[in-house]
Structure 1
Amino acid sequence: MFLESVGKIFPEEENLVLENIFGERKIVKAKIKGIELVDQRIVLKK
């Protein structure tokens, strides 16, 4: 798990910026593999 309570995801060059509901940010070099809305999961791949 990179970050809990993610509220926003946006691309930035070759990275994804994850931002949670508290304003904390993480930048990861990954692509979205899938989003599971029922389980509240975002699956990333390198």
Structure 2
Amino acid sequence: MIRAAMDDVCFLLNIQEKMMEKLSKVSSWRLSVQSELYCRCFA
């Protein structure tokens, strides 16, 4: 049971890492779009 739990934890850590990478990419994209819109509105 302990071995199975350890495998599950490793699997979940991999999923978390991939989700954080995607979130970072999406967040960066949104920030760049918002910055561009802000610059156009107030330039």
Same fold (TM > 0.5): no
The answer to which structure, 1 or 2, has the higher relative contact order (CA under 8 A, 6+ apart) is 1
So what's the TM-score if we normalise by structure 2?
0.14
So what's the TM-score if we normalise by structure 1?
0.13
Greater fraction of residues in strand: 1
Greater fraction of residues in helix: 2
Question: Highest Rg: 1 or 2?
Answer: 2
